[in-house]
Structure 1
Amino acid sequence: MAFKTVAALVAMVCATAMPTTPGSAQTAAPEKTDVSIAVGGRTFMIYLPLSVTEQLGYFKDAGLNVEIQEVNSGTKSAQALVGGSVDATAGAFDHTIQLQAKGQTITAVVLMGRYPGIVLGLGKAAAARYQGPQDLRGMKIGVTAPGSQTNVMVNYIMANAGLKPGDASFIGVGGPASAIAAVKGGQIDALSHADPAITQLELTGELKPIFDTRSTAGTAAVFGGEYPSSVLYLLPSFIAKYPNTTQALVTAIVRGLHWMERASPEEIAKLMPAEYAMGNHDLYVAIIAKSKAMFSPDGRLSREGAQNALKVLSTFDPAVAGAKIDLDATYTNSLVEKASALH
C-alpha cells in the first residue's frame, strides 16, 4: 500500500476520533469494543507497557475490552495479525519493514520500546574461548524464535564480522523460563534474549553478556544509532474500518507510557501479576530499574530510528535489500500526537 493511502487513512482516523465534549480526555466511542492483541511473550520486559496499560485499566477507560493473546514468539504474533486471528500485535518494528518487503503493509501506531533491550551473552564454555564476533561461527545460538528481533540482532553483529546467518545455528528457545533452562542445560552456546531471563543468568554467572542494547550507548554500539523496538502495529484495513478503536488503543498506551515515566520501579512491580517476578520480587524491581530507560516516554517513533532499522535489515536480509521500502507506510506518529493532546 502506498504512503498516500496509509497517510489518508491516518488523517481520517485523526479527523474522526474527536473528543465527545470540549476538553474531554475521551475520544469518540470505539466502533469495535472487543479487541484482541497478540504478543510474543507478555512477561518480556520490552512489552511491559502493554501489561501496565492493561493493569491500570486504561483500555477499559478508553471503552475497550482488550484480550491479550500470548503466542510463542514475535514472529508468530506477526503471523497471527496477517492471518486475521487477532486485531493488533505488540511486536518489533522490524516486522513492518520485513513484511512490506514481502508485499504486506502493516503500520506501527505507537512506540513502546525505544531500545531493543536485547542482550547477546555466552555460556561459560563459549565465553572462555571467545575473542570477538568472528568466534560466533559454528555456535548454537538461542533466540526467542528464528526471524525474531533477537535473531536480527545477532545476524547484524555477524554480518559486521564478515559472517553470514548460516555460519551459526539458531535455536528457538521461547520465553524466559525455557531460555534459562536451555542455558543451564547446555543446549546452546550463546543466548540472544531479554530480561528477566538475562539478568537472572548474569547473577548466577551462567551467562556473560558481550552485546547489550538495554541503553542508548549499548544500542548505538550494536546498531550504530537509534533502533526502535516494540510497537503496536495494525493492518491498514483495520485502521480504515475502525478509526475510533485505533485511536482508543493508542490513547490508552500513551497514557500508560506517561504513567510509567512518573512511576518508581517498585510501583511498577507492584502493579504486575505475581508471575511476572518469577518468584523474586526484589530482583524484578531491580530489573525494572535497570530497564526503565528502554521505554518510550511518549510513544513517538523517530525518522532516524526507522531509517536505521531499514539500513540494518538491508545488510543481511535479501528480501529487504531487494525491495523498495516505503518507510512512511511503516509507521505514523499522528495518533500519538492526538493522544498526547488528550493526556
Structure 2
Amino acid sequence: MLHRRAFCAAAAAGAALAIAPGVRTQPRLEKNRVVIAVAGKASFYYLPLTLSEQLGYFRAEGLDVEVVDHAAGARALQALLSGSADICSGAFEHTLNLQAGGQFFPCFVLQGRAPQVAMGTSTKGFAAYQAVPDLRGRRVGVSAVGSATHMMASLVAARGGLRPADVQYVGVGSSAGALSALRTGQVDAMSNSEPVMTMLEQKGDVKLIADCRTLRGTAEVFGGPMPAACLYASEDFLRRAPNTAQAVANAVVHSLKWLQTAGPGDLIKTLPESHLLGDRALYLAAFDKVRESIALDGLVPPEGPRTALAAMTTFDASFRPERIELDRLYTNDFAQRAKERYKA
C-alpha cells in the first residue's frame, strides 16, 4: 500500500498532467530566442507573421521572437546569410536564387499562395491600350527592378509575345512615389502590390490587365500555383533546431487558421495602428483584394516549385534551371505537423 503522503503527491502530479497534458509532451526547444529578418513587415505579404506576434502565438510556443524589419529584401536575405538572423520571411523565389548559387535554404512554411501583385494601364495616359502587344515601347512602373512586381510584368509581356527589350521597366517604389509616377505620366502602366493598386483602382487611374492577387489570375500569368511569401532557413538550421523550427511553424500556421474566420473588426483590433495605412477603410478594401492569396495551412502545393522555376527561367535569361533540385526548395514536414495540431 502506498504511504499516504506519497499517494497524495502522486495524485497531485497526475492531476497536473491531466490539466496540462502539453507539459508532458512539449519538446525542448534548441533555442528560445529566434530572429526573423523581413523587409516591409507592415505589408499584407507578411500579415501571418505579424499576427503570430500580435496574437501571442510565438509566446505560446515558448519562443522569444524578434522580427527585424529591413529596408529591402536583399538586406533581409543578407542578414540571414551573415548569421544575424535565423530565419527569413521573404519571397519563395529567393530559395531558387540561393540554390542556383549552391546554397540550400528551403521554405518550411508558406504564408502566401499568390504574389499579391496586380498590373494595370493608365486610363489617362494610355487610354489607347487594347492588348499586351500595345506595351511595346512603353514604360511600366514596378516597385523595383528585379522584384516580384517586375517578374510579373515581364511574364505578362512575354505571354503577349514581347521580348524583355520591348518594354522599359522603371523602379517607382511601392508607396506615394508609385502613385505619383502613374498619375503624372512618368509611366504608362503599373505593376505593384497593395495598397498601391487598390488606391489606383479606387480613383479610376488604372485599367487592370492582370491580377495575381487571386488564384485564378495567378494561374493565368504564371501557368499554375505560384508560392509567394514564405519562411525559409538553412538546411543546417532545420537539422540543428527542428523543435524550434516546428514551434515557429506552429505559430504561423495557427495565425493562418485564425485568418480563415477573422472579420474586418478582428483585424482592426489586432493589428498595430501603424499597419493600417492611416485609413482603415482603405486597409480593409485592400485586404479584401488579397485575402484569397493568403495560404490556408502553410503547405507548399506540389506543383508550386515547378511553376516558380519556370517563371524564374523566363524572367532571368542567365538563370540555370538545371542546377535546381526541386525537392530541396521546400519541406512540408513542419507545416503538416502544425496543420494536424491546429486542424487548419
CA distance in 2, matches of 1:65, 1:299: 21
* 1:26-82 deviation line (CA, Å, top 9, x unaligned): 842322222222222122222211111111111121122222222233344333323
**Greater alpha carbon shift after TM alignment, 182-191 vs 332-341:** 182-191
TM-score (norm 1): 0.86
Alignment of 1:155-174 (within 5 A): 155-174=154-173
Alignment of 1:292-331 (within 5 A): 292-331=291-330
Describe the shift of the 1:273–1:128 C-alpha distance in structure 2 as closer, same or farther (beyond 3 A): same
Q: Percent of aligned pairs with the same residue?
A: 40
> Which AA in structure 1 matches 2:89?
A
1:243 matched to 2:242: yes
Contact 2:309–2:321 (Cα < 8 Å) also in 1:
no
> Which AA in structure 2 matches 1:287?
A
Residue in 1 aligned with 2:43?
A: 44
Q: Which SS does the other structure have where 1:127 is aligned?
A: coil
Q: Which SS does the other structure have where 1:115 is aligned?
A: coil
Q: Which SS does the other structure have where 1:303 is aligned?
A: coil
Describe the shift of the 1:40–1:171 C-alpha distance in structure 2 as closer, same or farther (beyond 3 A): farther
Describe the shift of the 1:142–1:39 C-alpha distance in structure 2 as closer, same or farther (beyond 3 A): farther
CA distance in 1, matches of 2:180, 2:37: 25
1:188 matched to 2:187: yes
CA distance in 2, matches of 1:177, 1:332: 38
Describe the shift of the 1:165–1:339 C-alpha distance in structure 2 as closer, same or farther (beyond 3 A): same
Contact 2:61–2:251 (Cα < 8 Å) also in 1:
yes
Contact 1:75–1:147 (Cα < 8 Å) also in 2:
no
- Tell me by how many angstroms 1:125 deviates: 4.2
> Which AA in structure 2 matches 1:208?
K
CA distance in 2, matches of 1:149, 1:118: 8
- Tell me by how many angstroms 1:24 deviates: 5.8
Specify the structure having the higher radius of gyration (Cα).
Answer: 2
1:74 matched to 2:88: no
Describe the shift of the 1:26–1:65 C-alpha distance in structure 2 as closer, same or farther (beyond 3 A): farther
CA distance in 2, matches of 1:189, 1:270: 38
Q: Which SS does the other structure have where 1:90 is aligned?
A: strand
CA distance in 2, matches of 1:329, 1:81: 18
CA distance in 1, matches of 2:185, 2:68: 31
- Tell me by how many angstroms 1:262 deviates: 1.6
> Which AA in structure 2 matches 1:337?
Q
State the structure with bigger RCO (CA 8 A, min sep 6), 1 or 2: 1
1:234 matched to 2:233: yes
Contact 1:27–1:244 (Cα < 8 Å) also in 2:
no
CA distance in 2, matches of 1:211, 1:27: 46
- Tell me by how many angstroms 1:321 deviates: 4.1
Residue in 2 aligned with 1:270?
A: 269
> Which AA in structure 1 matches 2:127?
A
CA distance in 2, matches of 1:122, 1:236: 42
Between the two proteins, the alignment pairs up a number of residues equal to 323
Contact 1:228–1:305 (Cα < 8 Å) also in 2:
yes
- Tell me by how many angstroms 1:185 deviates: 4.4
- Tell me by how many angstroms 1:298 deviates: 0.8
Residue in 1 aligned with 2:90?
A: 91
> Which AA in structure 2 matches 1:243?
P
TM-score (norm 2): 0.86
Residue in 2 aligned with 1:14?
A: none
Residue in 2 aligned with 1:3?
A: none
Contact 2:96–2:329 (Cα < 8 Å) also in 1:
yes
**Greater alpha carbon shift after TM alignment, 283-292 vs 44-53:** 283-292
> Which AA in structure 2 matches 1:147?
G
CA distance in 1, matches of 2:314, 2:217: 19
